[in-house]
C-alpha cells in the first residue's frame, strides 16, 4: 500500500535532487524514495555511518588511506 507524503525542502536541495535523479535515470519521486530507503535504518543492532569520499582521492591510494584513517579515528573517538 502506497501513501502520498509531502514535505518542504529548500530550492538548493531540490535542485540537487533533480540533478541526481536525472543522472541516475530516475523520476524525482523514485529518487526521493531510493534515498529515504538508503538512509532510514530500522535496525537497533547497527549504527549507520555514511561517508562521502572526495572524488579527488580516487586513484590516489595513499591519500585515500590517510583520509579513511582520519575518518575512522574520528568515528572511534565519537562512539567510544
pLDDT at 75: 93
**Which residues, other chains included, contact 70 with Cβ-Cβ below 8 Å and sequence gap of 6+?**
none
58 in the same domain as 29: no
Indicate whether 2 and 29 sit together in one domain. Answer: yes
Q: Does residue 36 sit in the same domain as residue 1?
A: yes
48 and 32 belong to one structural domain: no
- Are residues 20 and 31 in contact, defined by beta-carbon separation less than 8 angstroms? yes
What CATH number should be reported for the domain holding residue 14? 1.10.1220
Decide: helix, strand or coil at residue 18: helix
Residue with cell 580516487: 58
Domain count, the chain: 2
Residue range(s) defining the domain that contains residue 64: 44-80
More confident site: 71 or 37 = 71
Q: Which pLDDT tens digit goes with each residue over 20-42?
A: 899 989 998 888 888 888 777 67
Amino acid at each position: 500500500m502506497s501513501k502520498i507524503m509531502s514535505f518542504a525542502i529548500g530550492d538548493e536541495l531540490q535542485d540537487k535532487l533533480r540533478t541526481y535523479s536525472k543522472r541516475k535515470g530516475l523520476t524525482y519521486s523514485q529518487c526521493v524514495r531510493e534515498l529515504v530507503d538508503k538512509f532510514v535504518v530500522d535496525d537497533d543492532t547497527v549504527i549507520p555511518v555514511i561517508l562521502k569520499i572526495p572524488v579527488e582521492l580516487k586513484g590516489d591510494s595513499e591519500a585515500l588511506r590517510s583520509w579513511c584513517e582520519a575518518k575512522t579515528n574520528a568515528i572511534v573517538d565519537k562512539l567510544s
